[in-house]
A and B are shown apart, each in its own frame.
Chain A
């Protein structure tokens, strides 16, 4: 008897609670806590970066902290002209070229691997775990190994050979993981329809798979570019005599204590944003073209 009463009371409580949730316009208090957390996160994410962009525009008297002293482009000129700040220009060029190479190879390699992993094949587990291993291996350890390997075979380490390979051992597995996520949204029925209509394997890839996955492929390209452009620990032991940009920045953090460092931050961020802009623009154009095409066909 008592048990029944208790369960009825409990049911009433649950019903009231459910009714409370039903009230669509009412936000629970947790919502506002999370809003505050999100705002704090975004502030912490962007705040420090904005500080150094602002501080990089100081004049000759400028220091590493606020308050801002003067307003000029002095530290940008300083960055590209002073010997003290290292070979920033050369590092910048090398990093861009290397990042483009890595991007192209990452896109091709991870797209192909993505196709392979859509079904099981003999040894797929081994390849998969090698990939995970390559992704999680400490970069410096791989760097030492690659450096010793090149030394053993009497090869000269350079940014376009050993460092390229070292970076690919990190960007390619990353790209494949992204490609998995991209391809999981691909409906195999489209491919099967094309096959039923007599398309060859290559025609299916070229005319069905690539156009449909294009935005995802651009995303992989963006990952490849950024991960390479920013790579440090795998490149350190493998770049040979000439530095990439992150290595230049590393040596700058150790011996430059002027707003030049911040100017470099502003320049590299502008370069990053330029790349993001181009990629997002490319995605937008592709989407638009596709929707136009489907529109005209209907």
Chain B
């Protein structure tokens, strides 16, 4: 696989100018709207703020000191990482099996594509609206509670369904499982089905096939999906705020509160720390897989 990619990619020196021309729109967006803003945040994190929400150009480490000594920071990271891990496990668990089902169990290819599209259509609609749509279901007088009460399973409405950590994880999984399904589906579609047949003929059990063929060969898709899911959850504050009913916070929601009262330098320090955490997470995932080769294959 890798050798064919390398052969189709010679390394001609004269191509450099043309390549840089082609990539220039991307660079022209990334520099002013990613690189420079990150540097601005980095600089601001070392400055002082005055009483009026302005920034004073005095070097200080106080912002970082307060980030690292505050008990709140650790609590926020704990809660955010808890949500990230729970969402990751849930979306991977569901996404992997949905993709597996579509690729290996649905024998009619047209039907498989149709079912795949059925999974992707909600992605094109508003995430916020999809999140809100859990309210009539999970609320105190919502459908789930009504149904459970009507069937006599419970006699008091369950309070933990909405505006709780449970609701937050449900909303995340609802929004993000598709980010797992698509790359894993893509990776699994490239597995030659004859490999599985050969394994079966050689007497491999279902577990063997899964362990030695399917999982290793869809590893890249899993990694790509994980990058999406983890980075979105780590950067979110909207879902946490609305679905927890204000009961839970995330790193970014605390950041948002800081900005609301114009505390830019402390917010910037917290932002830099968060950015480092996310980069380390993503870098660890990228170590296990060459995303670029995977995509360009």
Where the two chains meet, the residues of A that have a C-beta atom closer than 8 Å to any C-beta of B are 11, 13-15, 17-18, 21-22, 28, 30-31, 34-35, 37-38, 41-42, 44-49, 51-52, 55, 64-66, 105, 108-110, 112-113, 115-124, 127-128, 130-142, 144-146, 148-149, 152, 165-166, 168-169, 172-173, 176-177, 180-181, 183-184, 188, 201, 222, 226, 229-230, 232-233, 237, 246, 249-250, 253, 261-262, 264-265, 268-269, 272-273, 275-276
Contacting pair A65 B136 (CB below 8 A): yes
Task: Give bound CA distance, A15 to B267, whole Å.
Answer: 65
Contact B128 A250 (CB under 8 A): yes
Bound complex: CA A136 to CA B94 (Å)? 22
Q: Which residues of B contact A117 (CB under 8 A)?
A: 23, 292, 296
A269 and B275 contacting across the interface, CB-CB below 8 Å:
no
CB of A17 within 8 A of CB of B203, answer yes
Give complex CA distance A141, B40 in Å. 10
**Would you call B33 and A168 a contact (CB within 8 A)?**
yes
Check A136–B278 contact: CB distance below 8 A.
yes
Q: Is the CB of B200 within 8 A of A49?
A: no
Q: From B63-71, B81-89, B116-124, B211-219, give the one contacting chain A.
A: B116-124
Closest 3 pairs (CB-CB, A-B): A14-B203, A145-B37, A138-B235
* Interface: B194 (CB within 8 A): no
Residues of A contacting B132 in the complex (Cβ-Cβ under 8 angstroms)? 52, 253, 261-262, 265
A148 touches B26 (CB 8 A): no
The listed residue with most B CB atoms (<10 A of its CB), out of A28, A38, A138, is: A138
Q: A21-B200, A130-B34 are in contact. Are A222 and B124 (CB under 8 A)?
A: yes
Q: How far is the CA of A146 from the CA of B25 in the complex (A)?
A: 18
Given A38-B115, A117-B296, A145-B41, are A138 and B27 also a contact pair (CB < 8 Å)?
no
Contact B124 A275 (CB under 8 A): yes
Q: How far is the CA of A125 from the CA of B12 in the complex (A)?
A: 16
| Complex CA distance for A119 and B271, rounded to whole angstroms | 35
A-B contact pairs, 29 of them (CB 8 A): A17-B200, A18-B203, A21-B200, A30-B206, A38-B101, A42-B119, A48-B130, A66-B143, A105-B25, A118-B296, A119-B10, A119-B12, A120-B9, A132-B291, A137-B231, A137-B235, A138-B234, A142-B37, A148-B37, A172-B26, A181-B186, A222-B124, A230-B126, A230-B128, A246-B126, A249-B128, A264-B129, A268-B129, A272-B125
**Complex partner residue of B264 from A38, A144, A229, CB under 8 angstroms:** A144
B residues in contact (CB < 8 Å) with A: 8-12, 15-16, 18-27, 29-30, 32-41, 44, 55, 94, 97-98, 100-102, 105, 115, 118-119, 121-130, 132-137, 139, 141-143, 146, 174, 177, 186, 200-203, 205-206, 227, 231, 234-238, 242, 252, 255-256, 259, 264, 267-268, 271, 274-275, 278-279, 282, 286, 291-292, 295-297
Residues of B within 8 A of A152 (CB): 40
Q: Of B29, B203, B286, which one neighbours A168 at CB under 8 angstroms?
A: B29
Separation of A51 and B286 alpha carbons in the complex (Å): 40
Q: Are A109 and B29 in contact (CB under 8 A)?
A: yes
Interface of A: prevailing SS: helix
Q: Which residues of A contact B237 (CB under 8 A)?
A: 140, 233
> Which residue in B125, B203, B206 is a CB contact (below 8 Å) of A15?
B203
Residues of B near A180 (CB, < 8 A) are 292, 295-296
* Residue pair A49, B29 in contact (C-beta under 8 Å): no
Contact indicator B295/A184 (Cβ below 8 Å): yes
Contact B296 A184 (CB under 8 A): yes
The answer to whether B123 touches A137 (Cβ under 8 A) is no
Bound complex: CA A161 to CA B125 (Å): 25
